[in-house]
């Protein structure tokens, strides 16, 4: 409260730890509201309340000791206010590791479906871990994961007195390490094509997708599984298979590509049509739906039809307004200028371009004509200035 002389002094102490608390992911705010203070048990402010996931706990220590306040805020016990596995950052991890004898850390990454599924299973054993004195947390930090030799996600690391132990399969699989090493070599390049690698230890998942032998490599394309039947230690062939057109294509559907995949398709296909669009655009969505109707016909024309949401890359090929269609013949682009909402017009335009013989443009004709004229003119000049050789004079003695 403003009239309380203690409040400014306490505020100065709290401000000393504001930056460090932020490193732990804790945001400190102040409020001047006696009714709100009374609601949370402070009849005579100032006071400090810690909120975590909507639940609150009041600080009852020395309010003038900022170090004690920071220790209280970052105390692992205060993280257990909720029934969920708590998400922490690197700074909080370092503190918990130093203060907790038994710690299990779930490393995951964003946009990872298998990570979400496994996390859901771990939530069910969180309370049992508490009974055994094991603190279970989760963290999304690739750099920290690298420190513990974690190269694929998700992963679970158990720390006993600060010493890490990576959870691995109990089954004997001598070839798995060799296969993992091979896959790690192409993980970065596969990522450029928009392909994520994850490893799964689940007999239920294997049965679900009819996988009879493990280890196996399964590629999911729009939730459709494709099992690789080659040598899992030959990473080059695996990458070639993952990015091949046979695996890439889904019947009657225009495939989404990124820049890396489009460059590969341009190298491999003589005829390629690209639908450039942008997200959250009603017209683009309408045109895309109509173009799906002619995807089968373009396959019959031996034209690979893909789509790409990258306005900047589209400008590279002369596209200034989206949506747009660009037809490539041996990497040479032609932009469609007609009505995109009439898919039959688009198909007819693609058909004409597909069977049109490559023509020499006017500039090429002019160049050939100039070259021929220059050759003729040069020949004419040479013939005009050519002179007959002089008759040699006879010597007097020869007379």
In the chain the domains, ranked by start, together with CATH numbers, are 5-79 (no CATH), 86-167 (3.40.30.10), 174-248 (no CATH), 255-355 (3.40.30.10)
The model scores a pTM over 0.75:
no
Structure tokens at 396: 């007097």
Cα separation, 172 vs 185, in Å, equals 23
Task: Report the SS3 class of residue 181.
Answer: helix
Cα separation, 165 vs 159, in Å, equals 6
Is residue 240 within a helix (H) or strand (E), and if so which, with residue range?
A: helix 235-242
Within the chain, how many helices (H) and strands (E) appear? Answer: 18, 14
Locus of tokens 């600060």? 162
Cα separation, 247 vs 345, in Å, equals 29
* 65: Cβ contacts below 8 Å, ≥ 6 apart: 13
Cα separation, 195 vs 190, in Å, equals 5
- pLDDT tens for the chain, residues 1 to 399: 556 667 788 888 888 888 877 877 788 888 887 778 777 777 777 888 888 766 778 888 888 788 888 887 777 666 554 557 888 888 888 888 888 888 999 999 888 888 888 888 898 888 888 888 888 999 998 888 888 878 788 888 888 888 787 666 545 566 777 888 888 888 888 888 888 887 777 777 777 777 767 788 888 877 788 888 888 888 999 998 888 877 766 666 788 888 888 888 888 888 999 999 998 889 999 999 999 888 888 888 888 899 998 888 888 888 888 999 999 988 888 999 999 999 999 999 999 888 876 554 555 667 788 888 888 888 777 777 665 555 555 555 554
How many other CB atoms sit within 10 Å of the CB of residue 131?
A: 8
Task: Report the SS3 class of residue 6.
Answer: helix
CB 105 within 8 A of CB 159: yes
Task: Report the SS3 class of residue 140.
Answer: coil
How many other CB atoms sit within 10 Å of the CB of residue 287?
A: 24
CB 55 within 8 A of CB 81: yes
Cα 367 versus chain centre, distance: 48
């Amino acid at each position: 409260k403003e009239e309380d002389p203690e409040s400014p002094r306490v505020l100065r102490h709290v401000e000393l730890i504001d930056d460090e608390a932020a490193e732990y992911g804790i945001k400190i705010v102040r409020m001047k509201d006696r009714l709100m203070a009374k609601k949370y048990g402070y009849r005579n402010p100032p006071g400090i309340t810690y909120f975590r996931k909507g639940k609150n706990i009041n600080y009852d220590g020395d309010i003038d000791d900022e170090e004690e306040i920071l220790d209280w805020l970052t105390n692992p016990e205060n993280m257990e206010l909720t029934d969920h596995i708590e998400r922490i950052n690197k700074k909080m991890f370092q503190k918990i590791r130093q203060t907790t004898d038994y710690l299990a850390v779930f490393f995951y990454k964003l946009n990872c479906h298998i990570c979400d599924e496994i996390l859901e299973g771990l939530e069910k054993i969180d309370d049992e871990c508490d009974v055994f004195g094991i603190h279970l947390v989760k963290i999304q930090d690739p750099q920290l994961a690298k420190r513990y030799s974690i190269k694929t996600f998700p992963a679970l690391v158990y720390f006993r007195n600060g010493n890490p132990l990576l959870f691995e399969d109990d089954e004997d699989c001598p070839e798995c390490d060799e296969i993992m090493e091979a896959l790690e070599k192409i993980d970065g390049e596969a990522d450029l094509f928009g392909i994520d690698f994850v490893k799964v230890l689940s007999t239920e998942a294997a049965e679900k997708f009819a996988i009879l032998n493990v280890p196996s490599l399964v590629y999911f394309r729009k939730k459709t599984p494709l099992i690789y039947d080659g040598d899992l230690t030959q990473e080059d062939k695996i990458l070639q298979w993952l990015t091949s057109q046979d695996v890439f294509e889904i019947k009657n559907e225009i495939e989404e590509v990124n820049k890396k995949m489009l460059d590969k398709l341009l190298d491999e296909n003589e005829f390629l049509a690209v639908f450039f669009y942008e997200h959250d655009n009603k017209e683009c969505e309408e045109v895309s739906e109509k173009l799906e109707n002619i995807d089968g016909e373009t396959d019959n024309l031996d034209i690979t039809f893909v789509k790409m949401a990258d306005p900047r890359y589209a400008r590279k090929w002369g596209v200034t307004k989206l949506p747009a269609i660009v037809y490539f013949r041996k990497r040479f682009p032609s932009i469609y200028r007609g009505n995109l909402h009439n898919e039959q017009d688009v198909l007819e335009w693609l058909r004409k371009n597909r069977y049109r013989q490559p023509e020499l443009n006017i500039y090429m004709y002019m160049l050939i004509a100039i070259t021929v004229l220059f050759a003729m003119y040069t020949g004419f000049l040479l013939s005009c200035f050519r002179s007959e050789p002089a008759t040699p004079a006879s010597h007097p003695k020869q007379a």
